[in-house]
DNA sequence: TATGTTATGGAACGAATGGTTCATAACTCG
DNA sequence: CGAGTTATGAACCATTCGTTCCATAACATA
């Protein structure tokens, strides 16, 4: 008894994610969003609240994609321990095309952009990133004791942040792979 | 025969650096700068060109401060090799007060902020950061061969980026120190 | 056909942005 | 004093921003 929505909600959201992913929150204008999403101003405000609300939704959506990758690697039964972490890192850092990996990670980008400027969005991104660190630690517990797992997990997480920045600076893929291998190798060695 | 400048050029610049350091380039408004620098709009444009030009100057100034720290540690004769790198990392990551270290590094912040949005500023920040990586490699050559020095230098540089991000996320100082020690320890071990 | 929902385009809003101009005053020094 | 430089504040500009509102059209169902 009413006109149905003509646009695909998820498809339009994906376009919005791409915008924010490319240029960040504040540098993405409403005009950018509207043309990319292919909807009118009115439709935008009727369906997504406002720019800020849409960004929250985009962070959530992106976070779920990340969860999906985590499920395929860190929580999968195909790999375990350090090997699952390697698979994860390869998938997020090495597998994407140059165009994609040069965008970095929306969550990390948001962390950097909103630090000391926008507490709410910063907290949100931070919270969504936690699951990665926790999944790291969880996997490490298969090979290390509790304390070492936490220590190593946080150490790897720090490096993930560094690698994410490096991909935006255009680091060569082979160097990146070398670094990942080297870092994981360190954890394999029995050491004090 | 003419009225002298009343404000201290360097002092005012330092205030500008602080602004950009705290909130980034685009989030720092002219009003922010004027009140912090304590000068009038006219004086601002007469002496510093415009916001963009001032930011370039600030990056340069900040870069020189970094050079100073490099000189005190990486290029000093008091320490050498890995030990000088440790001193550098301690000085930039651990020594500052919470308030300072939570700002991260102006250059790294700028790298993240301007990626895929402002090529010129990104290149400038990138270029100013190079000296750190090069100084790392230079020091490592005292203990490793050419190839290993480059590999390890770039590896440490990646971690520096990660640590910089972590300080903005409020990582605890003792964990940070643990990670630094651990990373440097890896390089000390003779390993394939 | 009538009703209720969804979409559209455009106009307009207020606020904030970075930047320019100008008349005026403060000051130093020949 | 008077020439020359420096600083100031206010007014003003054009632009962009996110947001709201409204009249209108498209559409599905009862």
Contacts of A111 in chain B (CB under 8 A): 165, 168-169
- What local confidence, expressed as pLDDT, does residue B132 receive? 97
pTM above 0.85, yes or no: yes
Across chain B, what does the average pLDDT equal? 95
Name the residue facing A165 among B161, B171, B179 (closest C-beta): B161
Q: Which contacts (CB < 8 Å, 24+ apart) does range B55-60 have?
A: B55/B20, B55/B25, B55/B121, B56/B121, B56/B124, B57/B13, B57/B16, B58/B13, B58/B16, B58/B17, B58/B20, B58/B106, B59/B106, B59/B107, B59/B110, B59/B121, B59/B124, B59/B125, B59/B128, B60/B128
Residues 6+ apart with CB under 8 A from B64: none
pLDDT above 90 for B100? yes
Rounded distance between C-alpha atoms, residue B121 and residue A169, angstroms: 13
Tell whether the torsion through CA atoms of B56, B61, B62 and B64 is positive or negative: positive
> Which CA distances in Å does B175 have to A19, B166, B167, B170, B183?
35, 10, 11, 11, 12
pLDDT above 60 for B192? no
Rounded distance between C-alpha atoms, residue A19 and residue A13, angstroms: 10
The stretch B86-92 carries a mean pLDDT of: 97
Say whether A117 and B27 touch across the interface (CB within 8 A): yes
- What local confidence, expressed as pLDDT, does residue B77 receive? 87
How distant is the Cα of A99 from the closest Cα of chain B, in angstroms? 11
Rounded distance between C-alpha atoms, residue A102 and residue A168, angstroms: 5
Contacts of A151 in chain B (CB under 8 A): 178, 182
- The DSSP output letter for B38 is T
Token pair listed for A192:
């004090």
Within 10 Å of residue A39's Cβ, how many Cβ atoms?
18
The stretch B79-91 carries a mean pLDDT of: 95
pLDDT tens per residue across all 192 residues of chain A: 666 777 899 999 999 999 999 999 999 999 999 999 999 999 999 999 999 999 999 999 999 999 999 999 999 989 889 999 999 999 999 999 999 999 999 999 999 999 999 999 999 999 999 999 999 999 999 999 999 999 999 999 999 999 999 999 999 999 999 999 999 999 997 654
- What local confidence, expressed as pLDDT, does residue B156 receive? 98
CB B178 within 8 A of CB B166: no
- What local confidence, expressed as pLDDT, does residue B3 receive? 65
The tens digit of pLDDT for each residue in B34-76 reads: 999 999 999 999 999 999 999 999 999 999 999 999 999 999 9
């Amino acid at each position: 008894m009413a006109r149905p929505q003509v646009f695909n909600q998820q498809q339009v959201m994906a376009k919005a994610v791409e915008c924010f992913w490319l240029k960040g929150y504040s540098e993405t204008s409403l005009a950018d969003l509207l043309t990319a999403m292919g909807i009118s101003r009115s439709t935008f405000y009727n369906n997504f609240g406002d720019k800020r609300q849409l960004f929250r939704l985009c962070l959530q959506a992106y976070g779920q994609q990340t969860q999906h990758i985590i499920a395929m690697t860190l929580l999968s039964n195909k790999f375990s321990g350090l090997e699952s972490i390697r698979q994860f890192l390869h998938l997020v850092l090495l597998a994407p095309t140059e165009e994609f990996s040069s965008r970095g990670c929306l969550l990390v980008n948001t962390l950097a952009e909103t630090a000391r400027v926008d507490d709410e969005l910063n907290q949100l991104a931070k919270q969504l990133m936690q699951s990665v660190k926790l999944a790291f630690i969880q996997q490490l517990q298969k090979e290390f004791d509790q304390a070492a797992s936490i220590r190593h997990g946080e150490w790897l997480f720090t490096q993930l942040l560094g690698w994410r920045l490096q991909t935006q600076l255009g680091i060569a893929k082979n160097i990146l792979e070398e670094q990942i291998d080297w870092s994981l190798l360190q954890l394999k060695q029995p050491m004090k």
